[in-house]
């Protein structure tokens, strides 16, 4: 049997050696052993042909290694982040409880100090959620809905925190508008996610979100007395006009790419 391990080691002789390279070499070596056993079982006994067959499946191992290294380093970074989160979470919660108790005992403001817990928890959820969204977005589209749900939950949780602070600490009047604003923000972030991840047919999302967000804007502006309730309600039918404009824009944009046989080629 051809000494593939030696071949691989010599092939990567001038490549800086580290654990990533070792892992890649090990992967190649085990693939070689697997292929060798498989083709032998299939009926191929010429060792030279088996060796050439394997090498023809890996015409540029260094290029393969570059791709592997990139993926491996990304995986390592993710793994380091996960490990950090795992270790940091108990410490973080310990700090949270300490800060909460310290502030509460010092200020004796138990009525509001619990907001510290909500604040810490929201920050943790948003951080972990953000990391998860980032990781999921780089995976197959099949998993993207999970990222979008996490994104929506993070936005709504932050909204609740902002509302509680505004209500309990600053007693801002008409601060309930934060809730429709949170919903509005949820639509916006989802639309941005669809755009960044280049989701197919995302225009359908936009067409749904515009009329769905319009009542929220109406309630926010009306609630803050920026616009009168009447005729401010016109914002809602206006959203349908915006939808029509989006459709017209998309149709016009697409018409630039409609091929008409017989016309001069572009």
Partner 1 sequence: MEKKLKAELWDKMHYLFRDFNDRMVHVALYYDFEINVETLKTVLICFFEKAPVLHSSFTDNKISAHWDVKDYVVDDVLTVERVDDLEAAADEFLTQYIEPESDLQMKAAVFMKDGKSALCIVENHMCMDGGDFKYFLRSLCEAYSQYEQTGESPVDLRTGTRAYSAVYGDYSYTEQRMAKNLYKNVCAKDDHRFPFTRDSIRDRSFIAKRTIPAEMFDSIKTTGKKHGATVNDMLLTAYFYSLYELAGFERNESVTISCAIDLRRHIKDSSDMGLTNHTAFMQCSVPELGKDIFETLSHVAAASEKYKKDKFMGLYGLPLLNLGYSILPHAASEQIIKIGYSNPLLAMSNIGVLDENALSLSGNRPSGGFMTGAVKYKPYALLSATTMKKEITLSMCVRGNEEDRRIVDSFLQKCEENLSVLISRR
Q: How many CB atoms lie within 10 A of CB 122?
A: 18
Q: Does position 56 bind partner 1 by CB under 8 A?
A: yes
- Residue that the structure tokens 């225009």 belong to: 203
Helix pair 110-137, 61-107: axis angle to 10 deg: 170
**Conformational region of residue 46, where left means phi above 0, alpha means psi within -120 to 50, and beta covers everything else:** beta
> Shortest gap between Cβ of 34 and partner 1 (angstroms)?
10
Contact 119, 161 (CB under 8 A): yes
In whole angstroms, what is the distance from residue 137 CA to residue 141 CA?
8
Please list, in sequence order, all residues whose beta carbon lies within 8 angstroms of the beta carbon of residue 102, skipping any fewer than 6 positions away: none
> Shortest gap between Cβ of 1 and partner 1 (angstroms)?
16
Q: Which of 1, 52, 67, 83 touches partner 1 (CB under 8 A)?
A: 52
Q: Does position 252 bind partner 1 by CB under 8 A?
A: no
Q: Does position 257 bind partner 1 by CB under 8 A?
A: yes
Please list, in sequence order, all residues whose beta carbon lies within 8 angstroms of the beta carbon of residue 146, skipping any fewer than 6 positions away: 136
Q: Which of 22, 57, 208, 226 touches partner 1 (CB under 8 A)?
A: 57
Q: How many CB atoms lie within 10 A of CB 261?
A: 5
Question: What are the structure tokens assigned to 135, written together?
Answer: 């990781």
Helix pair 235-255, 202-223: axis angle to 10 deg: 150
Q: Which of 13, 173, 231, 262 touches partner 1 (CB under 8 A)?
A: 262
Which 1-40 positions form the footprint of partner 1 (CB under 8 A)? 35, 38-39
Q: For residues 26 and 83, which CB has a smaller minimum distance to partner 1 in the complex?
A: 26
Q: For residues 91 and 252, which CB has a smaller minimum distance to partner 1 in the complex?
A: 252
Q: Which positions from 96 to 135 touch partner 1 by CB under 8 A, shown as an x/- string? A: ----------------------------------------
Q: Does position 258 bind partner 1 by CB under 8 A?
A: yes
Total of chain residues touching partner 1, rule CB under 8 A: 24
Q: For residues 49 and 248, which CB has a smaller minimum distance to partner 1 in the complex?
A: 49
Interface residues with partner 1 (CB under 8 A) are 35, 38-39, 41-44, 46, 48-49, 51-53, 56-57, 200, 254, 257-259, 261-262, 265-266
């Amino acid at each position: 049997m051809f000494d593939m391990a030696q071949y691989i080691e010599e092939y990567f002789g001038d490549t800086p050696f580290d654990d990533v390279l070792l892992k890649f070499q090990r992967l190649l070596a085990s693939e070689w052993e697997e292929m060798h056993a498989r083709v032998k079982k299939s009926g191929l006994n010429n060792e030279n042909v088996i060796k050439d067959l394997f090498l023809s499946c890996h015409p540029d191992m260094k290029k393969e290694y570059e791709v592997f290294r990139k993926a491996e380093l990304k995986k390592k970074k993710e793994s380091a982040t996960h490990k950090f989160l795992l270790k940091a979470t108990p410490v973080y919660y310990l700090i949270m409880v300490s800060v909460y108790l310290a502030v509460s005992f010092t200020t004796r403001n138990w009525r509001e100090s619990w907001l510290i817990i909500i604040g810490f928890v929201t920050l943790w959820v948003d951080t972990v959620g953000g990391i998860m969204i980032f990781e999921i977005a780089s995976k197959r589209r099949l998993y993207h809905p999970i990222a979008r749900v996490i994104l929506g939950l993070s936005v709504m949780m932050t909204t609740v925190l902002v509302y509680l602070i505004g209500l309990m600490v600053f007693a801002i009047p008409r601060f309930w508008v934060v809730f429709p604003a949170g919903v509005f923000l949820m639509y916006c972030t989802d639309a941005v996610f669809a755009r960044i991840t280049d989701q197919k047919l995302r225009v359908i999302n936009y067409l749904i979100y515009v009329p769905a967000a319009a009542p929220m804007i109406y309630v926010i502006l009306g609630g803050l007395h920026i616009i009168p309730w009447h005729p401010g309600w016109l914002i809602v039918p206006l959203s349908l006009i915006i939808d029509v404009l989006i459709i017209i824009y998309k149709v016009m944009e697409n018409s630039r790419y409609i091929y008409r046989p017989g016309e001069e080629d572009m």
